[in-house]
Amino acid sequence: MEKRLRVCLKILLVMVSLCIINGTSVVASANHRIISRGHSYTSKYTVKQMRRRYHLRYRIVRHHKWAATYNHYEGIVKGGHTGHWINGGWKSGHHLKGRYAQFISNPAGEGMVATVHYVSLKSGKMYTAHTD
């Protein structure tokens, strides 16, 4: 029994030393720092990781007299609202608590719907709001 315990401890020691050599810890840290408007925030993902995870590629589409922007990073906001904004009021959705990275899409033209994506800094989940 003692020999088996020694072997298990040696294997555990080798695994921990390999993790330290590779630059990772045994318990991986999921905290990243995002700097927005002069303040530093702790987040589960970086802005680049959020864009990749939720397919929020920034792009500008230019037409004759107008340009539409998609997934523009606005910064970190406190709170927010999901659902649909119609005629000066929220018609559905719920209020968000906490801090979120905000991505805004502003398509230009009549009848186009603006979209706001909120990605939670704490959980990494994405929420969406639409305005008419």
List pLDDT tens digits, range 118-128: 999 999 999 99
Q: Where are the domains of the chain?
A: 1-29, 31-131
Distance CA 92, CA 113 (A): 15
Q: What is the pLDDT of residue 132?
A: 72
Distance CA 7, CA 5 (A): 5
Distance CA 54, CA 64 (A): 30
pTM as predicted: 0.72
Q: Most confidently modeled of 36-50, 56-70, 108-122?
A: 36-50
> What's the whole-number mean pLDDT along residues 69-78?
92
